[in-house]
C-alpha cells in the first residue's frame, strides 16, 4: 500500500467521525433534554447535546464517554447579561483578587450546565456574566450570588471508612442550619435527602468550621522526606477569630480524619497530625494539578471580593430562528458556488480541491462542537472567511502545477514541485493571519469587545486546519484521482486545467 493509500484511509476514517459529530442529533434519532430546553425551538435547531459512549471491554460498562455540545452565543439564542460590581473600594483589593473572584463566579454559573457561559473582568472593579439560553433569570442571579459552602467536618471514628466517603455527598450540621427556614415548593425534593449521614448515629456530620474561617490556601511542593521524592501539599491559614475553635478541635482529634467538604461533596479527608491553630498543611499524595485545584477550591469557599448586582438585562436573540436559517442557506449557496467554480476552472484538480473543502468544513464543525466553541454571528463570519482561505491555498498549488507543466516537467515532477513550492507561501500567509487572530483575541478580552474574540478563534481554527487540508488532503485526493485517470490525463493535459 502506497503512502497516498494510507493517507486516504486515514482521511476517510477522520471524515466519517467528523460527519458523525457535525450531524445534528435529530438526523440520528437522538433527542436530548438540551434540545428541548429552549422554548419554541425544534430539537437540534439551537443547542443539542449528545454522548458517544463506547464499551471497550464488552462488559456492559462504558469506559469512554464523549460529551458533544454545540454552544451558541447571546446573539443567536438570547439569554441573560449580569453586571457585578465590587462592593468595596477598588483600592482595597488587587487585580489578582478580582480575577480570582471571577473564577469563583465562573464555577458557580457552571452549575447551570452552561458550557458557553462567559465571565469577564471589566475595568478595575466589575465582572460581566453572560448566560446564553437562560430562561429563568431569578435562578441564574441566585446562582451567581451564591457562595460555595466550604466546611471542615469532624470525621472522628471513621478511620476505616474514610475512602468510601471521598467524592460522596454528605449532610452536615451547617447545611441543616442553612436550610432550617427553607420552604420547599410543591413537588420539590429536599436536596439534603439523598446525602449520606453519619453511619453510626444517622445524624448529620458536625461542621467544625466553614470557609469563612479560612484566610488563605496555596499549593506548595514539599521537600523530599527520607527516600521518598518531593510531594505536593496545600498550606492553609486560619483567621484569628477562628483559631481557638480550630486549634482546640485539632488538638483533641490528633490521629483522626477530618473531612474537607465543598458544597456537600467530600474533597479530601486527611488525618490530623498535630494541633492546628493558625493553619496547617493538607497532604494526600496529590499531583500538581490536584493540589492547585484543591487550593483553589479552598480559597473559593468565600468570594475574595464582595459583589453586588449592578444591573441585569434579558437579551433577545438578535437574529432569531428564521434569520439563522437564512444565514445557513446563504452560506450553503456560497459554498456551492465556490465548489462549482473550482470544478469548472481547474477540472480534475478542482475535484480534488472540492473533496478537500468538504472535509475541511466538516472538520471545522466537529472541532467547534468538541472544544466546544461558542458560535456567535462574528464567529460564524470567521469560519466562512476561513473557507475562502482554504480555497486560496488550493489555487496557489494548482497554479504552480500549471506553471511546472508549461515549463515541460513530467506530470509526477510537476505535481511534486507544485505542492512543495506552494507550501511556503501557504504556510507564511496562514501564520501571518494567525498572528493577527492572536492580537484580535487579546483585544477581545477587553471590556465591550468580547465578540471580536469569537471571530478570531474560529478564523484561527480554520487557518490551522487549512494547513492540513490544503496540502495533505488535497495532495492525497489529487494523486489518487490522477492515478485513476492516468491515461486520460497523459493524452489531454486540459483535464488538469493546464
pLDDT of residue 249 exceeding 90: yes
pLDDT, position 183? 63
pLDDT higher at 69 or 29 = 69
Q: Considering only residues 473 and 68, tell me which one the structure prediction assigns the higher pLDDT.
A: 473
The architecture that CATH gives domain 150-179+189-302 is: 2-Layer Sandwich (3.30)
- Bridge partner list, 126: 85, 122
CATH 3.30.1360 region(s) of the chain?
Answer: 150-179+189-302
pLDDT of the residue at 246? 93
pLDDT band at 33 (very low <50, low <70, confident <90, very high): very low
Cβ-based neighbours of 306, under 8 Å, separated by 6 or more: 86, 87, 88
Mean pLDDT across 226-233: 73
- Decide if domain 79-147+308-315 falls under CATH 3.30.70.3400: yes
User: Has residue 440 got a pLDDT over 70?
Assistant: yes
Which CATH number does the domain 3-31+320-496 belong to among 1.10.10.10, 3.30.460.80, 3.40.50.10490, 1.20.1640.10?
1.20.1640.10
Instruction: Say what the pLDDT of residue 463 is.
Output: 93
Percent of the chain whose predicted confidence (pLDDT) is above 90: 22
Indicate the range of 67-81, 233-247, 366-380, 467-481 predicted with least confidence. Answer: 67-81
pLDDT score of 383 more than 80:
yes
- Pairing state between β 126-132 and 79-86: antiparallel
What is the arithmetic mean of pLDDT over 209-218?
84
Going by C-beta distance under 8 Å and a sequence separation of 6 or more, which residues neighbour residue 161? Answer: 199
Q: Is 308 exposed, middle or buried (0-12, 13-18, 19+ CB in 10 A)?
A: exposed
Query: Could you tell me the pLDDT band of residue 475, with boundaries at 50, 70 and 90?
Result: very high
Which residue in the block uniquely carries the three cell numbers 466562512?
A: 384
Determine the average pLDDT of the residues in 308-326: 70
Q: Write down the pLDDT at residue 138.
A: 72
Query: In the prediction, which pLDDT does 184 show?
Result: 65
Contacts of 221 (CB under 8 A, 6+ apart): 230, 231, 232, 288
- pLDDT tens for each residue of 215-224: 888 888 887 7
Predicted local confidence at residue 8, as pLDDT: 92
Omega before 372 cis (within 30°)?
Answer: yes
pLDDT of 455 reads 87
What is the mean pLDDT of the segment spanning 366-374? Answer: 83
Intervals of CATH 1.20.1640.10 along the chain? 3-31+320-496
Mean pLDDT, residues 88-115 taken together: 70
Domain with CATH 3.30.70.3400 in the chain: 79-147+308-315
Using CB atoms within 10 A of its CB, is residue 183 exposed (0-12), middle (13-18) or buried (19+)?
A: exposed
- For 412-452, the DSSP string reads HHHHHHHHHHHHHHHHHHHHHHHHHHHHHHHHTTSTT-HHH
Looking at residue 80, its pLDDT comes to 80
Q: Span 114-128, mean pLDDT?
A: 76
Confidence of residue 454 (pLDDT cuts 50, 70, 90): confident
What is the predicted pLDDT for the residue at 55? 46
Cα 188 from chain centroid?
A: 31
pLDDT band with cut points at 50, 70 and 90 for residue 251: very high
Q: State the first-to-last Cα distance of the chain, in angstroms, to the nearest integer.
A: 30
Which residues does 198 contact at the CB level (< 8 Å), separation at least 6? 204, 205
**pLDDT score recorded for residue 197:** 93
The per-residue pLDDT of the chain, averaged, comes to 78
pLDDT of residue 406: 86
Instruction: Count Cα atoms within 13 angstroms, Cβ side, for 318.
Output: 7
pLDDT digits (tens, 9 = 90+) for 127-183: 888 877 776 677 667 656 655 577 899 998 887 888 899 889 999 998 888 777 666
Percentage of the chain modeled with pLDDT above 70: 74
pLDDT (average), residues 470-484: 90
pLDDT of 320 strictly over 70: no
Amino acid at each position: 500500500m502506497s503512502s497516498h493509500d494510507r493517507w486516504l484511509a486515514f482521511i476517510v476514517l477522520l471524515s466519517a467521525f467528523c460527519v458523525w459529530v457535525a450531524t445534528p442529533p435529530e438526523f440520528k434519532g437522538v433527542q436530548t433534554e438540551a434540545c428541548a430546553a429552549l422554548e419554541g425551538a425544534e430539537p437540534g435547531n439551537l443547542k443539542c447535546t449528545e454522548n458517544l459512549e463506547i464499551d471497550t471491554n464488552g462488559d456492559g460498562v462504558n469506559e469512554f464517554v464523549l460529551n458533544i455540545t454545540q454552544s451558541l452565543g447571546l446573539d443567536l439564542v438570547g439569554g441573560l447579561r449580569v453586571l457585578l460590581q465590587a462592593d468595596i473600594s477598588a483600592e482595597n483589593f488587587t487585580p489578582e483578587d478580582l480575577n480570582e473572584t471571577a473564577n469563583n463566579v465562573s464555577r458557580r454559573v457552571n452549575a447551570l450546565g452552561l458550557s458557553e457561559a462567559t465571565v469577564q473582568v471589566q475595568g478595575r472593579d466589575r465582572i460581566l456574566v453572560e448566560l446564553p439560553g437562560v430562561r429563568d433569570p431569578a435562578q441564574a442571579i441566585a446562582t451567581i450570588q451564591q457562595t460555595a459552602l466550604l466546611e471542615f467536618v469532624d470525621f472522628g471514628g471513621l478511620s476505616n471508612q474514610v475512602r468510601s466517603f471521598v467524592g460522596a455527598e454528605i449532610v452536615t450540621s451547617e447545611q441543616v442550619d442553612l436550610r432550617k427556614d427553607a420552604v420547599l415548593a410543591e413537588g420539590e425534593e429536599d436536596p439534603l435527602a439523598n446525602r449520606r449521614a453519619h453511619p453510626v448515629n444517622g445524624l448529620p456530620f458536625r461542621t467544625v468550621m466553614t470557609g469563612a474561617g479560612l484566610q488563605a490556601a496555596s499549593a506548595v511542593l514539599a521537600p523530599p522526606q527520607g527516600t521518598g521524592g518531593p510531594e505536593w501539599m496545600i498550606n492553609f491559614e486560619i483567621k484569628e477569630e477562628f483559631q481557638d475553635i480550630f486549634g482546640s478541635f485539632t488538638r483533641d482529634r490528633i490521629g483522626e480524619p477530618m473531612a474537607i467538604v465543598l458544597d456537600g461533596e467530600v474533597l479530601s479527608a486527611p488525618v490530623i497530625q498535630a494541633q492546628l491553630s493558625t493553619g496547617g498543611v493538607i497532604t494526600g499524595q496529590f499531583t500538581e494539578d490536584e493540589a492547585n485545584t484543591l487550593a483553589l477550591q479552598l480559597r473559593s469557599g468565600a468570594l475574595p471580593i464582595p459583589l453586588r448586582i449592578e444591573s441585569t438585562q434579558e437579551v433577545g436573540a438578535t437574529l432569531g430562528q428564521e434569520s439563522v436559517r437564512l444565514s445557513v442557506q446563504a452560506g450553503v449557496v456560497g459554498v456551492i458556488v465556490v465548489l462549482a467554480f473550482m470544478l469548472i476552472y481547474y477540472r480534475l484538480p478542482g475535484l480534488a480541491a472540492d473533496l478537500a473543502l468538504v472535509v475541511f468544513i466538516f472538520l471545522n464543525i466537529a472541532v467547534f462542537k468538541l472544544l466546544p466553541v461558542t458560535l456567535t454571528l462574528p464567529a460564524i463570519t470567521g469560519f466562512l472567511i476561513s473557507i475562502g482561505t482554504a480555497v486560496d491555498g488550493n489555487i496557489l498549488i494548482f497554479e504552480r502545477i500549471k506553471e511546472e507543466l508549461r515549463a515541460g516537467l513530467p506530470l509526477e515532477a510537476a505535481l511534486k514541485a507544485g505542492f512543495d513550492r506552494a507550501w511556503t507561501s501557504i504556510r507564511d500567509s496562514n501564520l501571518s493571519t494567525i498572528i493577527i487572530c492572536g492580537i484580535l483575541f487579546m483585544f477581545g478580552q477587553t471590556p465591550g469587545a468580547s465578540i471580536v474574540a469569537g471571530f478570531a478563534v474560529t478564523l484561527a481554527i480554520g487557518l490551522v486546519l487549512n494547513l492540513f487540508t490544503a496540502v495533505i488532503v488535497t495532495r492525497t485526493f489529487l494523486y489518487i484521482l490522477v492515478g485513476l485517470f492516468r491515461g486520460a490525463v497523459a493524452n489531454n493535459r486540459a483535464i488538469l486545467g493546464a
